[in-house]
């Protein structure tokens, strides 16, 4: 298995209190928090960061030419960093919970949330995505997913082929309520361990318009599930440098990938 030759990846988490159904207000709010993160390579924003997690926000969904996509491009260019988070995006007659991955060269890649949160009727209003995304950024392969996807390990499985692992960093942007915080904390660690990869989970804080409380618990974990950073229940930002040499050494020392089951995603 070839050694990694890339540089460290500096990942910043912005654990904010998203405003309810206020796209312009949220862009201003998160813009202030982003402004201090010069030097980061990758900046994470929460799921549905322009509205909060709301089925009614479907009525204000933007298209890919809307103000939020334009704003992401501008912020990414200013900081020379990739920025990602999810928003509601309308494509023809469908609206997706779409993770946008903006890079400083002006590109926008996207992933549409595959697993819609049935418990809150998300599946009745939004369309499900059908294709996983792997982004290459500054020498790192990154798999970005959204919130409820965390509960479905097959979809995030890090397969290995002649070209190596599919990804080095697995990340989740989320609106994960306080009531289910134990599952959030536990599953993030499981995904890191089983996939022999770094894992970052970015959640929001505060209370939303549905009266749900969020306690953050955002984290960056190494390939053993050990925390490199753990956030509390308040508005907070943190930047962590991921070490490629440590990841390569662990994969060589503990080659569980050689015994993994072969499969394809449908």
Query: In the annotation, is 113 catalytic?
Result: yes
**Which strand ranges, in their side-by-side order, compose the sheet holding 42-44?**
108-112, 94-102, 82-91, 42-44, 9-15, 236-242
**Tokens found for residue 36:** 């201090």
Distance CA 199, CA 132 (A): 16
**Candidate list 84, 143, 147, 215, residue with the active-site label:** 147
The DSSP secondary-structure symbol of 127 reads B
Query: In the annotation, is 199 catalytic?
Result: no
DSSP one-letter string for 166-180: S-SEEEEE----GGG
Query: In the annotation, is 47 catalytic?
Result: yes
Distance CA 236, CA 216 (A): 9
Distance CA 67, CA 263 (A): 40
CA atoms within 13 A on the CB side of 51: 19
CA atoms within 13 A on the CB side of 34: 27
β-partners of residue 160 are 165
* Closest listed residue to residue 89, CA positions, set 103, 104, 109: 109
**Candidate list 113, 122, 141, 199, residue with the active-site label:** 113
Residues carrying an active site annotation: 47, 113, 147
């Amino acid at each position: 298995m070839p050694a990694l030759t890339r540089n460290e990846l500096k990942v910043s988490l912005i654990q904010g209190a998203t405003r309810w159904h206020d796209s312009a207000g949220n862009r201003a709010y998160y813009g202030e928090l982003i402004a201090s993160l010069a030097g980061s390579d990758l900046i994470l924003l929460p799921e549905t960061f322009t509205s909060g997690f709301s089925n009614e926000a479907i009525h204000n969904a933007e298209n890919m030419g809307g103000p939020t996509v334009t704003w992401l491009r501008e912020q990414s260019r200013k900081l020379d960093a990739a920025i990602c988070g999810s928003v509601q995006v309308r494509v023809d007659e469908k609206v997706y919970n779409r993770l946008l991955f903006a890079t400083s060269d002006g590109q926008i890649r996207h992933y549409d949330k595959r697993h819609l949160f049935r418990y809150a009727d998300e599946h009745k209003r939004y369309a499900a995505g059908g294709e996983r995304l792997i982004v290459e950024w500054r020498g790192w392969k990154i798999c970005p997913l959204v919130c409820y996807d965390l509960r479905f390990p097959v979809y995030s499985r890090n397969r290995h082929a002649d070209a190596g692992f599919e990804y080095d960093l697995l990340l989740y942007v989320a609106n994960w309520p306080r009531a289910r915080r134990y599952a959030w904390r536990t599953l993030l660690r499981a995904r890191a361990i089983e996939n022999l990869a770094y894992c970052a989970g970015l959640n929001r804080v505060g209370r939303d318009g549905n009266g749900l409380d969020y306690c953050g618990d955002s984290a960056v974990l190494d390939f053993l599930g050990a925390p490199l950073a753990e956030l509390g229940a308040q508005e907070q930002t943190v930047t962590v440098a991921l070490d490629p040499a440590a990841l390569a050494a662990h994969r060589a020392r503990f080659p569980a990938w050689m015994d993994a089951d072969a499969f394809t995603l449908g």
